[in-house]
Chains A and B, each alone.
Chain A
Amino acid sequence: MIFKTKPKATAALILCLGTLLIFPPIILIFNKPLTLLGIPISAIYLFSIWLVVIICSAFSSRHLPDPNE
């Protein structure tokens, strides 16, 4: 898995993608009066991106070298 082979590049990628996805103009795509399962799409989008970034970060952090070493 890429988390293991290139941990630093993956960490940078997660950071860049996470930043890009919550900044305009991409986030504006989801700023529409639509609902998904009864919940407004803007809220669903923002919170799912958030959670995905956290999960990816947990995976990538595990494979980064220990800062103490």
Chain B
Amino acid sequence: MLSANFVLATALIYVLVLFLLAFASDRQSRRGGNRLIRSPLVYTLSLSVYCTSWTFYGAVGSAARNGLEFAAIYLGPTLVFVGWWFFLRKLVRIGHTYRITSIADLISSRFGKSTGLAILVTCIAVISTTPYIALQLKAVTTSFQVVSGISVLSLTDSTIGGTNTALWVAISMALFTILFGTRNLDANEHHPGVVAAIAFEALVKLFAILAVGFFVVFSMAGGINQVFEYPAATVLLYSEQSFSWRWVNLLLLSAIAIICLPRQFQTTVVENSNENHLKTASWAFPLYLFLMSLFVIPIAIAGLSLLPEDANPDMFLLTLPISAGQNSLALLAFIGGFSSATSMVIVANIALSIMISNHIIVPLALKIPLLRLNSRGDIKYLLRTSRRISIGVILFLGYVYYRTSAQSDALASIGLIAFVGVSQFCPAIIAGMFWRNATAKGVTVGMSAGFLLWAYTLFLPSLTGSPDGIIAHFVEQGLWSIEALKPQALFGLTNIDPLVHAVFWSLGTNIFCLIVVSVWSNQSPLEQLQSALFVDVFRNQPGTESRVLQRRATSRDLYWLTQRILGSAQARDLFQQLSDNYTDHHSLDTPDPRFIAHIERHLAGSIGASTARTLVSQIATGETISLEEIINLVDETQQVVEYSHRLEKQSETLKSTARKLTQANEQLQQIDSQKDEFLSQVSHELRTPMTSIRSMAEILLDSNNIADKQRAHFSRIIYEESIRLTRLLDEILEISRLEHGEMDIKHEHLNPEKCISRAIETCLGIAHRGGVSLNCDVPTTTSTMIGDPDRFHQVMINLLTNAINYNTAQNPRVEVSCRISKSYYEVYIQDNGPGIEDRESVFEKFSRGPNESSLYRGSGLGLSISRQLMHKMRGSLELVDDSNCGACFRLKMPLGV
């Protein structure tokens, strides 16, 4: 066991190191040497303020109670950062463009720079964060007692005698935050020193949890597999209730919290110095969360198995090393937890103090005539003082909550109360960024209703530790003892997890009211302007705001105001810079609306949009908001959107047309080359008979003394060749008519038996001459086929003569058979000839079989014509793929109904 003084001294030294680091970073940043501080890595590490002591100690506790449920708290943020392109990018862009200082500023600025809305958001943020700060106090107090052994029962009951420690922790943290967070008031609310310290703390807590994890798994348990062999592993990691509504709920809540928690908004949006950093953070931050939770389950299992049964699971991270006698490791774990707590308290306090001073104290002070802030007075001083005081007040509230809330509460349940509280901002933010017509009234009603329901269903029941037991009674019985008003079973909604119950009622009512009231109410002109600026942040051109908002002010008044808020040095710099940009058009004595808008935006970066507007309005005169310009603005952006949609569509149409054209061109080229080929084939085919006719005629002309027999022979050749020529020309004409669709095809009901018999009879003569046996098997049928009788006959004759003429078998045979399939009448013509080798080209024009007998010499067009004829008759002609010897053609004719 370590002595209390030693632990205290270590913590003090650690704080001192942090302070020195912050101090050095601040100085370096002011000198311009801030490359490391403004690097994406430091930005990512600073986001780890999400991992508070709730994560550090509580995750193990949560894992020991509910197994994998703890992971939901990290998976939600993982999803938000993985999808940064769709949401965070816009949020950060809005934050940069309009110099947003806090989440209250964001919501109020979007909804017409409303002061009332800013106050509402600030109050909700303070009230929801109080339990969270109490949680940090509780964690630091408890861990301090455990590690220093102040309480004898520390291993089992860690809360006895902790109240004084908690008070001291609260006071020291307040001092610490004041030193860190309000040292200088930057025009952008950037705190490079704080960010550097937070990044350092992020590394410390990661190192601490990994070190304890390695020690517990590999030294205490003896390896990864040994850890999961403990009976506790099965109990923890398998339960029928896992991944139910509560799991979905936690994922949703944590995804919302990573945006809506005031401290997260501060680090993600306000402290962001470069939008490109999101790119790195999108995977590096989820990786950090992954590493933080890697050892949680093994530590929980080891704690449940190796420590006494009544040990507090929230403190396993400390009690495990202590039980193994590793005091230095326990001290490291304590420093890790201390880091988690301090980083959260510092950033949350800074964020809340900015909100309180900007949105509550300064507007209030402006209304008190005694302070004379309206005309003179150092607003900068007021800002700084009010921030310091509010830091103290916030921590005091946290301490009060810590005293009031049930001492037995586990860390995780306190953290979730805060999550649900801040999640009430989410509908307003999403509607503000994406829904043009969301109104301030809708957001105010929705958020108030959601907040009240949160307070009633979740916050009040957490205060059951109050001494008189009134709240406990009230939770048990309901308001005025009405059953339907029980905080944890509203309107009789029982048998549901209290968290899911609270989220359903509060967030559901919030969203419902926001939508309904927004639809029923109207936006003020300023709201319309702000809505256009926020929703279309990626499309707006600079200077839009001043085009709509016309007003006049003297530059003396403006300068005076700027000096009161930013201090004289910064005011001088700003005016110097602006006068360089604007003097070419206007004299500085009468600044134009653009100049005034620029100044107002700069001031908003320090005191928030609503207060900046109030102050500038006091010195500006003749303010008019041009409704026409607003309508133009909205129209313009819509026109741009429509135009780009139209362009997109047009370019798509163009692309498809181009594709079609290319295809058509390719087809044309193919047809052209086919035509050329056809022509050359035709001339070749015509040339052969012509040559023989010419040579025969020449012989007959030249030689007078030819024998009569010879003369008759030559004349017959001439006659036969000219017949062949005519037939060829007929077929070419026929094919051309077929291809041009000029041939009339009849569609009559035909008797198949009759048609086939007629064709066979015609061919019997040729078959007999060639010694081919022609067999026919045509069953009698009542069905008819549809087609042109003459054309069918032509096709049959062509196929049969081919089968006869090209048959070189010993016992040549041709068989005709028929079959009726689904909707076709099929005729098979099978021969036992040599078969067809080139199955591909057999139907092409001028393709002939290799073994052409001298008796018959075809034109090579027959099959091509036949096939086209069959197509015209809505049938088909195919060469059957058959392993039998010979060729088999199949004719298909459509059946008559």
Q: A residues within 8 Å of B by Cβ?
A: 8, 11-12, 14-15, 18-19, 22-24, 27-28, 31-33, 35, 37-40, 42-43, 46-47, 50-51, 53-55, 57-58, 61-62, 64, 66-68
Contacts and interface: CB of A to CB of B under 8 A. Distances in A.
A54 B275 contact: no
B41 to A, nearest CB: 14
B68 A42 contact: yes
Interface in B222-261: 224-225, 228-229, 233-234, 237-240, 242-244, 247-248, 251
A32 B240 CA distance: 9
A53 B224 contact: no
Contacts of A62: 279
Most buried by B among A14, A28, A40: A40
Contact of B290 (A12, A27, A37, A51): A51
Nearest to A40: B237
B224 A39 contact: yes
B286 interface: yes
A64 B279 CA distance: 8
Nearest to A22: B75
Contacts of B82: 11, 14-15, 18, 53-54, 57
A51 B93 CA distance: 28
B8 interface: no
B283 A23 contact: no
B274 interface: yes
Contacts of A24: 243-244, 247-248
A15 B79 contact: yes
Contact of A50 (B86, B280, B290): B290
Contacts of B247: 24, 27
B85 interface: yes
Contact of B225 (A32, A38, A51, A55): A38
A64 B247 CA distance: 31
B71 interface: yes
A15 B280 CA distance: 16
B371 interface: no
B224 A46 contact: no
Contacts of A35: 228
Given A18-B82, A24-B244, A33 B282 contact: no
B278 interface: yes
A3 B130 CA distance: 44
Nearest to A28: B243
A43 B81 CA distance: 22
B661 interface: no
A67 B93 contact: yes
Contact of A64 (B75, B85, B92): B85
Given A12-B86, A15-B83, A40 B234 contact: yes
A43 B237 contact: yes
Contacts of A27: 243, 247
A15 B86 contact: yes
Contacts of B97: none
A50 B243 contact: no
Nearest to B294: A47
A53 to B, nearest CB: 6
Interface of B: 68, 71, 75, 78-79, 81-86, 89, 92-93, 224-225, 228-229, 233-234, 237-240, 242-244, 247-248, 251, 274-276, 278-280, 282-283, 286-287, 290, 294, 297
Contacts of B238: 31-33, 40, 42
A67 B239 CA distance: 44
B287 A31 contact: no
A59 B86 CA distance: 17
B251 A37 contact: no
B276 A68 contact: yes
A54 B290 contact: yes
A29 B280 CA distance: 33
B229 A11 contact: no
Contact of B68 (A19, A23, A43): A43
Contact of A67 (B78, B276, B287, B294): B276
A16 to B, nearest CB: 9
Nearest to A45: B68
A39 B663 CA distance: 58
Given A43-B297, A67-B89, 10 more contacts: A24-B243, A38-B228, A39-B228, A46-B68, A47-B294, A51-B290, A62-B279, A67-B92, A67-B276, A68-B276
Nearest to A24: B243
B239 to A, nearest CB: 8
B85 A11 contact: yes
B40 to A, nearest CB: 11
Given A54-B78, A66-B279, A68-B274, A38 B290 contact: no
Contacts of B244: 24
B287 A46 contact: no
A67 B278 contact: yes
B58 to A, nearest CB: 19
Contact of B287 (A11, A32, A54): A54
A28 to B, nearest CB: 6
Contacts of B68: 42-43, 46
B245 to A, nearest CB: 9
A53 B286 contact: yes
B297 to A, nearest CB: 6
Nearest to B229: A38
Nearest to A34: B238
In order of increasing CB-CB distance, the 7 nearest A-B pairs are A58-B283, A40-B237, A38-B225, A15-B83, A67-B275, A57-B82, A57-B283
A63 B126 CA distance: 40
Contact of A33 (B234, B274, B278): B234
Contact of B286 (A23, A46, A57): A57
B276 A66 contact: yes
A18 B278 CA distance: 19
Contacts of B243: 24, 27-28, 31
A31 B286 contact: no
Contacts of A54: 78, 82, 283, 286-287, 290
Contacts of A61: 84, 279-280, 282-283
Given A22-B251, A67-B278, A42 B290 contact: no
B383 to A, nearest CB: 30
Contacts of A64: 85, 279
B30 to A, nearest CB: 24
A2 to B, nearest CB: 15
Contacts of A37: 225
B299 to A, nearest CB: 13
Contacts of A68: 274-276
A64 B248 CA distance: 29
Contacts of A28: 243
B648 to A, nearest CB: 14
A40 B78 CA distance: 23
B433 to A, nearest CB: 15
Nearest to B282: A61
A50 to B, nearest CB: 6
A69 to B, nearest CB: 9
26 contacts: A11-B82, A11-B86, A24-B247, A27-B243, A28-B243, A31-B240, A33-B234, A33-B238, A38-B225, A39-B228, A40-B234, A40-B238, A42-B68, A42-B237, A42-B238, A47-B294, A50-B75, A53-B286, A54-B283, A54-B290, A57-B82, A57-B283, A58-B283, A61-B84, A66-B276, A67-B89
A40 B233 contact: yes
A33 B84 CA distance: 36
B303 to A, nearest CB: 16
B269 to A, nearest CB: 13
B667 to A, nearest CB: 30
